[in-house]
Amino acid sequence: MPNESPPPPTDDAAPARFDAEQAEILITRIRQNIERALRGKPEVVRRAVETLLAGGHLLLEDVPGVGKTTLAQALARSIDGSFSRIQFTSDLLPSDVLGASIPEARDGVPTGEFAFQPGPIFANVVLADEVNRASPKTQSALLEAMAESGVTIDGVTHPLPEPHFVVATQNPLEHHGAHPLPESQLDRFLVRTGIGYPDPADEAAVLREDPAATELPRLQPAVTIDELRELQRAAETIKFDEALVGYLLAIVKETREHEALEIGISPRGAVAMRRAAQARALVDGRDFCIPEDVRDLAVDVFAHRITVDPRSHHSRDGEETAWIVREILEALPIPL
């Protein structure tokens, strides 16, 4: 199955290096480090870290200038990872993202051999800026690399670095020259959310201090790459008991039967929710999931995976699908 739904850990797998309490300390360190550069958005930072720990990718849908680039850069610095930014435009080619095989030469004479030149996708944290401005072909190349955790060029597969975390952005107000991601490609993102404008007090602090210019360049790693990999392994071991399986499947069933929806949540979407809930529990220092983990993540994990029936009276924007998910959650009892 693609990158977003790895098999669950087996009983004979090596135990994670960190327990829940140790993991919470390291995760808090990461979050506080990022918040030095991105002020007043602790929940957004939390969601980004949860997505990273779950091994997924993040789609930020928001207007320009609210801190999307700062978030991605601060996260990369906090985990001591490599960072690249790809500005998606209408003329961007798949090879501009993935890389290409180029002819080799010695002393200016072609050898007849080719060497792979990696593209900017080969980084631990990749900011795919304004992804909806690229052609569908280039979008598909990016998302296929995300799903497969590698790039295949001329029959040779080149694995992407681990961890590999894509933060893609799209401007909801941009229409001219844009190619919105279809549902099948939106499904590759574990979480879709926004950042939003800061509160007046936080915005005043940003105006006085400009943390993106002053704090961001000075950020030091909060954890190592190896420690982050161990945190991701720890998230996979978080307990998700049968009562929560039933609760999750009840939500999934309602999306498939809702009168306003044409497409409900797929099995891959259900697995994505389990992984996100496990990461959320780890962020809170627990070694088990609770119903609130599923409930609080449902809109960000599910709303972009469902499709409104065009024959219904409902609109087809993201706010409408979020409202439908909330409606389903309100109608279902939370297991005790």
Tell me the Ramachandran region of residue 120: left when phi exceeds 0, alpha when psi lies from -120 to 50, beta otherwise. alpha
In angstroms, the CA 192 to CA 169 distance is: 10
Burial of 105 per CB tally in 10 Å (0-12, 13-18, 19+): exposed
Per-residue pLDDT, averaged over 171-194, amounts to 78
Tell me what pLDDT residue 317 has.
Answer: 53
CATH number assigned to the domain covering 15-225: 3.40.50.300
> Quick check: 112 and 123 in contact, CB under 8 A?
no
> Quick check: 72 and 129 in contact, CB under 8 A?
no
* Domain spans of the chain, in order of start: 15-225, 238-336
CB atoms under 10 Å from CB of 326, counted, come to: 14
In angstroms, the CA 126 to CA 34 distance is: 16
For domain 238-336, say whether CATH 1.10.8.80 is its number.
yes
pLDDT band at 318 (very low <50, low <70, confident <90, very high): low
Return the half-sphere exposure (C-beta side, CA atoms, 13 A cut-off) of residue 31. 21
Per-residue pLDDT, averaged over 208-234, amounts to 94
pLDDT band at 62 (very low <50, low <70, confident <90, very high): confident
Backbone angles phi, psi at 85, to 5 degrees: -120, 130
pLDDT band at 8 (very low <50, low <70, confident <90, very high): very low
The pLDDT tens digits for 97-126 are 999 988 887 777 777 788 889 999 999 999
Burial of 111 per CB tally in 10 Å (0-12, 13-18, 19+): exposed
The pLDDT tens digits for 223-259 are 999 999 999 999 999 999 999 999 999 999 999 999 9
Facing residues of 110 across strands?
Answer: 105
Q: Tell me which H or E stretch contains 329.
A: helix 318-331
Alpha carbon distances (Å) from 130 to 40, 89, 253 = 23, 8, 33
Question: What whole-number percentage of the chain has pLDDT above 70?
Answer: 91
DSSP label at residue 255: H
The mean pLDDT of the chain is 88
Rounded to the nearest angstrom, the gap between the alpha carbon of residue 93 and the centroid of all alpha carbons in its chain is 23
Per-residue pLDDT, averaged over 172-176, amounts to 62
> Quick check: 167 and 48 in contact, CB under 8 A?
yes
pLDDT band at 313 (very low <50, low <70, confident <90, very high): low
State whether residue 168 is helix, strand or coil.
Answer: strand
pLDDT band at 144 (very low <50, low <70, confident <90, very high): confident
State if pTM tops 0.75. yes
Tell me what pLDDT residue 147 has.
Answer: 87
Q: Lowest mean pLDDT: which of 77-91, 104-118, 172-186, 318-332?
A: 172-186
- Token couple for 6: 């790895």
pLDDT at 316 over 70: no
